[in-house]
């Protein structure tokens, strides 16, 4: 029963293949084209694959842009927490620690001191410490502090409007609404009055990975700057006009130069300092924490656990040097490339290009597109994401190649089908050999494809295949030969002949072959034979088949080529 079902399936597939005349490749191209168009729209079918491709290339780049030597992190790490706990207790430390740090670091004239610490609440146990910190900040115009943007769903609960916050910009051409905005602001008046604030929010993509840093956010006609953009505007940098920029990572964790906070602070307190007196001169100093105990980490393409202070430092580095990653915003550019790849491959299958040539062409295109994508992120700051064309082409090619293989296999097996178990008898077969004089003007694959199209459109049941080209002797002996045969599905108990069957079948083949050769002006030889094939006895069937093919070859005769009209 299993064998019966398999043979029946082959017959059904055979009928479809012969009737379709290659239209499957067109249907498949239309289907894949629709997927590409949908992906370019709002559906984003391969969005996750695009993100993973970006991550993989970013993480495995050969060439990373070097971290700016003028940017340094003063890191509150686990060792600093432990060392400072002896005198200042557990985190959070009294604000006087940071006040003293600022006073002493200003002696070295840094370009900017950027805190990645949200001073949002008063220290109720040390009000004098807070007052000291507030006073120190008021006299230092190169300090910058974060604020935290809460979810817009909390805006209705806030009594703070953008107009009340120094540093908020009006968006030209828009009405500034006096709506509440949910922000966690620093507690200290000197910070708020200075306006040197910006959000340090980062927003991961839908898979939870941080790839971009927000430059600003627009709300109610007001532009809320991020901390890196506030630093950049104050220092006169050219900033991106985009809302977000893709972060150009400088390498794996630790790529940004850093020093330990406790070591710097302890050295500041020494009368005889051991660290360089110009260690921070002209530099942008970012004070933050990599300590896991403070939970300021995010997953990024570079690390599963990436400290927030290094993300901030990298964003500042990008804005300072203007080398953030830019991606094409118009998806239709890549959609056009994907559609082109699909339809070029479809035409290759339809027009009978050799399968090996198609394989090589497609493999070359895939390698080329991947290499181009990889190179764009290594040698430039402009990322050309060719994931859509690569994926679309791969989907089309894979399905088309499977179909082509199945088509060839079905055609090859059809003559040997034994559909009815235990049935013996005879079938009638017509075998034709067509041998073009030369295939210089038309490829073997093209000739084969035209034969298939012409014959499948005229009669169901043809099988068409070129002779194998393996040993050199066989190649020369059977050069350019095409085997065409038709086997009657009807099984009779005795040998039989169908009246005029051979002549009718041969006439169709001759008509199609003549038309092809006439078009390209090449001569051809034609030979044929007809006779019975045993059914149910594989050995006898094979012997009969060999005799029919051999006789058809023996009957090869030069055919006249009609003059062009």
Whether 466 has a pLDDT exceeding 90, the answer reads no
Higher pLDDT, 458 or 32: 32
pLDDT in tens, 318-363: 999 999 999 887 778 888 889 999 999 998 888 767 677 888 888 8
Q: Residue 280: which of 49, 106, 21 has the closest Cα?
A: 106
The per-residue pLDDT for 358 is 82
- Specify the residue for token string 């493999």: 363
- Beta-carbon neighbour count of residue 246 at 10 Å? 20
Using CA atoms, how far apart are residues 28 and 157, in angstroms rounded to an integer?
Answer: 54
List the single range of 19-23, 196-200, 343-347, 376-380 with lowest mean pLDDT: 19-23
* Cβ-contact 112, 142 below 8 angstroms: yes
CA 333 to chain centre: 14
Q: How far is CA 210 from CA 240, 299, 456, in A?
A: 18, 6, 56
Query: Could you give the percent of the chain with pLDDT greater than 90?
Result: 57
- Confidence class of residue 469 from pLDDT cuts 50, 70 and 90? low
Distance of CA 178 to the CA centre of its chain: 43
Mean pLDDT of 403-426: 65
Query: What integer best gives the mean pLDDT of the chain?
Result: 87
User: 104-108, 371-375, 436-440: which has the highest mean pLDDT?
Assistant: 104-108
Please enumerate in sequence order all residues whose Cβ is within 8 A of that of 190, keeping only pairs 6 or more positions apart, or say none.
134, 135, 137, 138
For the segment 251-294, what is each residue's pLDDT rounded down to a tens digit?
Answer: 999 999 999 999 999 999 999 999 999 999 999 999 999 998 88
- Residue identified by tokens 């602070």 is 265
Angle, vertex CA 284, rays to CA 280 and CA 286, nearest 5:
100
CA–CA gap between residue 40 and residue 370 (Å, rounded): 19
Question: What does the alpha-carbon distance between residue 165 and residue 163 come to, in Å, rounded to a whole number?
Answer: 6
pLDDT in tens, 121-146: 999 989 999 999 999 999 999 999 99
- Residue of 224, 290, 229 whose CA lies nearest to 258: 290
Contact (Cβ atoms closer than 8 angstroms) between residue 99 and residue 134: no
Output the pTM of the full model: 0.74
Q: How far from 40 is each of 44, 50, 88, 488, CA to CA, in Å?
A: 6, 12, 56, 50
pLDDT for residue 1: 43
pLDDT in tens, 481-491: 999 888 877 77
As a whole number of angstroms, the distance between CA 561 and CA 555 comes to 18
Q: What is the pLDDT of residue 565?
A: 43
Ramachandran region of residue 173, left (φ > 0), alpha (ψ -120 to 50) or beta?
Answer: left
Query: What contacts 478, CB < 8 A, 6 or more positions away?
Result: 467, 553
Q: Which residue has the higher pLDDT, 539 or 10?
A: 539
What's the pLDDT band for 564 if we cut at 50, 70, 90? very low
Q: Give me the pLDDT at residue 222, please.
A: 93
Cβ atoms of residues 188 and 98 within 8 Å: no
Q: Report residue 456 as tokens.
A: 């499948």
What average pLDDT does range 210-235 have in this prediction? 95
Q: What is the pLDDT of residue 492?
A: 83
């Amino acid at each position: 029963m299993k064998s019966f079902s398999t043979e029946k399936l082959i017959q059904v597939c055979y009928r479809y293949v012969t009737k379709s005349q290659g239209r499957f490749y067109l249907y498949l191209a239309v289907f894949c084209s629709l997927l590409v168009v949908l992906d370019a729209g709002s559906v984003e079918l391969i969005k996750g694959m695009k993100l993973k491709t970006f991550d993989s290339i970013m993480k495995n780049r050969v060439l990373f842009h070097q971290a700016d030597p003028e940017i340094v992190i003063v890191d509150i790490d686990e060792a600093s927490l432990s060392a400072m706990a002896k005198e200042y207790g557990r985190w959070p430390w009294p604000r006087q620690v940071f006040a003293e740090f600022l006073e002493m670091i200003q002696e070295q004239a840094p370009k900017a001191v950027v805190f990645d610490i949200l001073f949002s609440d008063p220290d109720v146990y040390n009000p004098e410490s807070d007052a000291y910190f507030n006073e120190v900040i008021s006299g230092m115009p190169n300090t910058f502090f974060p604020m935290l943007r809460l979810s817009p769903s909390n805006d209705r609960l806030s009594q703070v409007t953008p107009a009340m916050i120094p540093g908020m910009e009006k968006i030209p051409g828009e009405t500034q609404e006096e709506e509440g905005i949910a922000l966690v602001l620093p507690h200290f008046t000197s910070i708020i009055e200075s306006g040197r604030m910006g959000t340090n929010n980062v927003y991961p993509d839908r898979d939870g990975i941080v790839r971009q840093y927000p430059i600003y956010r627009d709300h109610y006609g007001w532009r809320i700057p991020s901390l890196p953009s506030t630093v950049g505007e104050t220092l006169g940098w050219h900033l991106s006009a985009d809302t977000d920029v893709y972060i150009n990572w400088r390498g794996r964790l630790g790529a940004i130069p850093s020093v330990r906070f406790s070591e710097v602070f302890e050295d500041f307190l020494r009368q005889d300092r051991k660290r360089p007196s110009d260690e921070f001169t002209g530099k942008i100093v970012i004070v933050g924490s990599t300590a896991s105990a403070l939970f300021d980490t995010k997953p990024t393409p570079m690390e599963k656990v990436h400290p927030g202070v290094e993300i901030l430092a990298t964003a500042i580095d990008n804005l300072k040097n203007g080398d953030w990653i830019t991606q094409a915003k118009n998806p239709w550019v890549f959609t056009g490339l994907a559609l082109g790849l699909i339809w070029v491959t479809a035409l290759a299958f339809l027009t009978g290009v050799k399968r090996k040539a198609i394989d090589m062409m497609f493999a070359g295109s895939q390698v080329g597109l991947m290499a181009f994508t990889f190179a764009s992120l290594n040698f430039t700051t402009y990322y050309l994401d060719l994931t859509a064309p690569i994926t679309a082409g791969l989907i089309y090619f894979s399905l088309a190649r499977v179909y082509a293989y199945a088509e060839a296999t079905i055609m090859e097996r059809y003559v040997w089908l034994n559909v009815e178990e235990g049935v013996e008898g005879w079938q009638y077969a017509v075998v034709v050999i067509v041998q073009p004089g030369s295939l210089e003007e038309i490829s073997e694959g093209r000739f084969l494809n035209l034969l298939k199209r012409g014959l499948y459109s005229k009669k169901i049941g043809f099988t068409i295949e070129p002779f194998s080209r393996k040993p050199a002797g066989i190649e020369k002996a059977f050069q350019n030969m095409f085997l065409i045969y038709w086997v009657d599905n009807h099984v009779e108990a005795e040998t039989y002949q169908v009246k005029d069957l051979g002549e009718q079948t041969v006439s169709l083949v001759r008509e199609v072959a003549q038309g092809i050769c006439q078009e390209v002006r090449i001569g051809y030889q034609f030979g044929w034979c007809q006779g019975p094939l045993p059914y149910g006895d594989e050995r006898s069937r094979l012997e009969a088949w060999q005799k029919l093919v051999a006789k058809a070859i023996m009957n090869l005769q030069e055919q006249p080529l009609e003059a062009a009209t």
